[in-house]
Every structure is written in C-alpha cells, then in structure tokens.
Structure 1
C-alpha cells in the first residue's frame, strides 16, 4: 500500500486533440502504470484519478463514496441551485433519500415504457431530418439535429408542450455558456415551476403529470421535488444524448468503412450504439468523495479525498476488451461505464440508447453521402459533452 505525501503530483489531463477521445496524456489505458493515481486538478485542488475499469466499477458501487457534489471534498464542486425551493435532487443525495426519489421515477424508465415511445421518437427524428434536407447542404448537424432531437424527446417524456421545445433548446445551449449558464438554469427552473403549477389544475400526459397525480397525493414526493426532478432529468437527459449524437457522428465520419457497414445493415444498431457509448468520450469523469479510508490498487484514499472515475479512459482499459483504443462497430454489446454503475447508474439509459439507435439509423439511411464540410481539426467542444457545431454536407 502506498500513501502519497509529495506535492509533486501530475496534472490531470484536460486538453484533447480529438473531440471524441480522452484528453491527451491518458494513453495507454493504464495511466502512469497504475489504475489509481493522485493528481492535481486545474485550480490546484487534489484528487484521485481512477482510470482502470475494474477499479472504477468497484468504487462506483462502494457505499464509502458519495456523489454529493456539494461536499467540500468534491473534485468537481457545484454550488446549490438558485431559488428558495433549491434542494438536492437525485444525483446529489444518498441513502434513503436517493432511493425514495429514484423509486418515484423508475416506472417511467422501464424498457417497456421507453420502447412504447419509439413511434413518436422516430417521427420526431425524421421530422428534424426533413427540415435539414429541405434546407439543403451545408448544414450544422448540432443545431439542426443533435440538439433538438434530445430536447424534443425529453419534452415528450416530461409532458412539456411541443410549442415550448425551442425555449428548451436555447436554454440547453446557453447552459454551457460561462457567462449565461446560471441564468439559463434559473429560467429553466422558473419555467418548470410554472408548468407544474399549471398541470396541478389542468393535467396532461407525461412524467410530470404522473408524479403529480400518483406520487404527490401519496406523500412519496412533494410538488417542489417534482420541479427539481424534472430539471435534473431535463439536463441529464439532454446533454449526454446530444453530445453522443454529434461526437458519435463525427467518429463515424472519420471511420468511413464503419459508417458504410452501418448503412448497409451489416451490423446491429444496438451493438453500434453500445460501441459508440464506450468509445466516444464526453466529459468522461464521475466525481465522488471518500467518506472513509479506502484501499484500492495499492493506494490509500483517505476520508475526505476527492475521486474522479475517468470513465472515458476506463472504457479503454486493455483488461476490458481487445483493441480497446479502436472503434469497432462490429463488436457485440459489452461492458462500459458511460452510464456509471451502482446506485447512481443512469436512470435514463434505456431512453438514451433508444434515441441514439433511432438517430444514427435515420442519419445513415436518409443521408448516406453525409460527410464533413470542414476539417475535423477546426471543430471545438462545449464545456459539457458535445460539439459547438458540426458542419456537414452531402
């Protein structure tokens, strides 16, 4: 067992030469020969970077770690949400409180319930592609497809009126703006608060309505939690999927043989989606804080230490699969940590997989000659997990 006391720590890699690969400095998959390494974060904070798949999975399931990003030891701290009703929701709570909130949402995210959304999601995806094709090339696949598709899907799930989807798309984009992000979040919160108030007297169809009619009367959750949970789902359900659509498309366009294999129907879309989820890296790190001392991979993580499970690198661990640094859409579905693991594993992963399957199938079949309109080196990423723009032509 090794206990680090030196201040000469490696810097956490943050610069990426390729938008959909981990930051430069992590390769090969076992960074610096170890799966758990103490590092210095931008700004000077210290944390443990976990880059091994087995170690990351074990820690994500370990109750001695908390996902509470308001904890002073969090490697990626976030301030409390603005407003008098601000309370920790889902991702920021643990134990019984977390189980109670998650249980209220679980019926909506079963595979059966999500699969029932397929016809509507296919319609929404094709509607966006109709508009893209009608406008003609060149086009920005981010603003024209990758952002609106998840926005429309989560609005459909929550029961947000279709006519308000443009507002959600705008706020979703502004959320990553350093100067306007806080205001965008506040506006989303105010909108959802007003929507819940309306639905209390005039219910419709959607998750918000189900929570108000089935959970709130039983006292399982209260109306303020409905607002908070809707906001969490809106953000979580939009950012990951929109980023995967844009960066997954870029990865496929830079691997034309694999794009062609999908177009020809030679590979199963479920396997393609799983491989893209494994291979394409967004933010790629899940923050945790140790509540007790933990020994792992010959290292001692002290109580109060911040931990970053670097899923984007753990997904490329050579102990996980052969040729982990290669994109191979012919692989059968396998294990990865993109949706996390343990009690905080992504609740909406069934919906995300379905959206991605429908989106990629439609793209490759309806625009078979899709290609980049600018050199890949000119593309830039958001503060979140996607591209600022993806100019394409056909």
Structure 2
C-alpha cells in the first residue's frame, strides 16, 4: 500500500454550510486524491471508502463482494461488541444469491414498467389532491409535511394494501427509525411497532386478500415471516427516499432558477430532469459490501472479510464520469446515475419512484409559478449526517396567492 492513498478518518460527515446538495467536503477531497481511500471503522477494524463512480459500479456487479447483513460493518456504529444476526427472512436487500434472487424473482413481476404506467394515473390524482390542499391552505407551507412526505406514503401504502386509517400511525413509526435522531430506546420501540404492524397486515391479507402486492404474494410459498420482511423492506424504501428527493430536488430547482424555468417551458424535459435531480441530490449516501476473498481494486488489495463503504453521492459527482459534475443541468444526457444502485441489488421500485418524481416535480412547479423558499436558504434544517438518507426536516415555501 502506497503512502499516497488518502485516509478518511471519521463518519458521519456533515455537509458544508450553504451547500446542502453537495457531498461532504471530506468525501469530495478524498475523490480528488483518487477513487479509493483508507477508513477505520468504529471499533478499530480497517476498511475502505470508495468514492469513484467506476469502482463503486464494479463492486456492485462483483459477486466476490457480499451484501449479507452479518458480514457488514457500519461506518458510524461500533458493532465490535455485538453478534450481528443474518437478515430476517424476506429482508432481501441484505442477502446474497440464491436467497436474494429467490425473493427478487417473486417480486419482479409486481414492479414492471407496464404496471407502473398503470399506476401513473393514480399518482396524478394523489398529487393533484395535495396541490389542491396546499392552494386552499395558502402560503406558506412546509413542503415536506404537505407534499413530499404524504405523496410517496399514499402511493406505497396503496400498493401494499395498508388501510387508510392506519397510514398516519405507520408513517410516524417509519419516520422515527429513519430520522437519524432517535434514541436507542425509541428506535427499538419504533422498529418493534413497525414489525408488529406488518405482521398484523399480513394476517389480515390472509383472511381478506385484495388487489395489492402482499395479497399477490399469498399464492407463493412465502411464509408469513418472509412476507413481513418483504413488506418492511418495500415500505421503508418506498417512503423515505422518494420523500427526500422530492423535497431536496424542489429546493435545488428553486436554487437554480434558469433550470426551473427550462422545466416549466419544456414538458419533454421531465424525464431527464428526474435523472439529473436524482444524481444531483443523491439522497442514498452510502452502502456497504464485504469482500468474500482477496480482491484487487483500484490498485489496492481488499482482503477477504474487509468491508468497503460505497459513497453513492460522491460517485454521482465524479468528474471522470460526469462533465461539470457539481452543476445542475436538467438537459444532461450522459445518464447512468447510481441513485438506485446497480447490478443484482438495483432498486426494484425505481420505475415507481421515477413516476412519482416526474409527476410530483412538474405538477408542483407548474401549479405555483412563483414558488420560492419562505426562509433564507441557510435556515432550512437538514437531517443530521447520521441519518441513512440525506434530506431536510422541513422545507418552508411560499408563493404569490
């Protein structure tokens, strides 16, 4: 190992004040030194952080790197004194093949492009209802509470068959364990509440199946425990990421008025705008993989058993992959952002998220032509660096009524 290899000494890392969309400066500096850096995990075990686009992508498609929960270290939590159990049945994001592919194949038919297009009409309805409510209430509003949070929540809850009267309670529990600011005691209680609720939901679907994803899976050989795990993965993934892309993406548009004007002027720009906003805000910050054998990567030897941290947000700003990477350019056509991952674990709900974002962004900016922040930019409260998903706690906006 050469002396020139950069070292990142600590995580989590906060964003630079006034730069809420950029990766933390320490990660940008690391990427400037090269695509791979030394890192010591809490507890003292050595590892690596990968900040370059090509290397992140190569790890995600390399079966010599494992996604198994019990093999992974965490960049902010000291796991050295704990026995980490394998992922619960159905929690396929933290599994390798063949278990991962078994669950994924059963789910793949539920998230096809065709089915998602059929859902688009309902998404337009939901978006319209929330815009009507915002207009009726009048400015200012918190865009997170009034728009960015409820829209993905309604969509994913309807897709999975969560009854209307249960949604608010369920969303509150999910928000607690995704916020990055919850005490250990409250976190354990929130996770237990979500698990218990999904268990009740699966039992209810067994008695009265309907036209939702969980009901569709009842004809398979999945156990109730596996269905609970799948439900937990889909609900938590479907709620938080889309919420924060909608909120941060709107803020990014308001901060780049020429790009906002271009989106309003050209409806054909909507799809590329979604891809660029996904790249630019990169709410999914890091994912981990552990080497199953010695692997040569970026001129370094990743020893078997070593965990690497994949920095999605820095990879999506890699100047070797994206021209002028720190600029928001809705007409960018170089594609290939890593917002939904890559390889066998690429996000199953990516098409659903794209539909929500395309409709959500375009309808919002067209309904309110004078939309703007209601507070100075540096007063918008960001989530802490410890949160797994980057975002804002609230986004106060206003417009000319």
Tell me which residue corresponds to 2:124.
Answer: 122
Tell me which residue corresponds to 2:211.
Answer: 205
Q: Distance in 1 between matches of 2:254 and 2:14?
A: 22
Tell me which residue corresponds to 1:71.
Answer: 71
Task: Tell me if structure 1 keeps the 8 A contact 2:202–2:228.
Answer: yes
Tell me which residue corresponds to 1:146.
Answer: 148
Q: Distance in 1 between matches of 2:362 and 2:348?
A: 23
Tell me which residue corresponds to 2:193.
Answer: 187
Tell me which residue corresponds to 2:62.
Answer: 62
Deviations 1:106-150 (A, max 9, x none): 001110011110111111111111111111111000111111111
Deviation at 1:13, TM superposition (A): 6.5
Q: Distance in 2 between matches of 1:203 and 1:286?
A: 35
Gaps of 5+ in 2: none
Tell me which residue corresponds to 1:135.
Answer: 137
Tell me which residue corresponds to 2:159.
Answer: 157
Deviation at 1:369, TM superposition (A): 0.9
Q: Distance in 2 between matches of 1:198 and 1:92?
A: 27
Task: Tell me if structure 2 keeps the 8 A contact 1:74–1:289.
Answer: no
**TM-score, normalisation: structure 1:** 0.91
Q: Distance in 2 between matches of 1:81 and 1:304?
A: 14
Q: Distance in 2 between matches of 1:149 and 1:240?
A: 12
Q: Distance in 1 between matches of 2:34 and 2:106?
A: 40
- RMSD (Å) for aligned C-alpha atoms: 2.5
Output aligned runs, 1:312-351, within 5 Å: 312-332=313-333, 334-351=335-352
Local SS of the residue matching 2:57? helix
Is 1:386 equivalent to 2:387 in the alignment? Answer: no
Tell me which residue corresponds to 1:14.
Answer: 13
Distance 1:8 1:137, change over 3 A: closer
Task: Tell me if structure 2 keeps the 8 A contact 1:20–1:251.
Answer: yes
Task: Tell me if structure 2 keeps the 8 A contact 1:158–1:207.
Answer: yes
Deviation at 1:46, TM superposition (A): 3.6
Tell me which residue corresponds to 2:306.
Answer: 305
Local SS of the residue matching 1:388? coil
Task: Tell me if structure 2 keeps the 8 A contact 1:159–1:208.
Answer: yes
Local SS of the residue matching 1:331? coil
Q: Distance in 2 between matches of 1:194 and 1:81?
A: 26
Deviations 1:78-112 (A, max 9, x none): 88999xx9436111111111110111110011100
Pick from 99, 102, 106 the counterpart of residue 104 of structure 2. Answer: 102
Structure 1 residues 109-118 or 45-54, which shifts more? 45-54
Deviations 1:262-312 (A, max 9, x none): 112265211000001111132411111111111111111111111111111
Question: After TM superposition, what 4+ stretches of structure 1 lie above 3 angstroms from structure 2?
Answer: 3-13, 40-46, 72-82, 85-88
Gaps of 5+ in 1: none
Tell me which residue corresponds to 1:373.
Answer: 374
Local SS of the residue matching 2:364? helix
Q: Distance in 2 between matches of 1:47 and 1:4?
A: 16
Local SS of the residue matching 1:181? helix
Output aligned runs, 1:166-177, within 5 Å: 166-175=168-177, 176=179, 177=181
Deviation at 1:8, TM superposition (A): 7.1
Q: Distance in 1 between matches of 2:8 and 2:266?
A: 48
Q: Distance in 2 between matches of 1:152 and 1:295?
A: 45
Local SS of the residue matching 2:241? helix
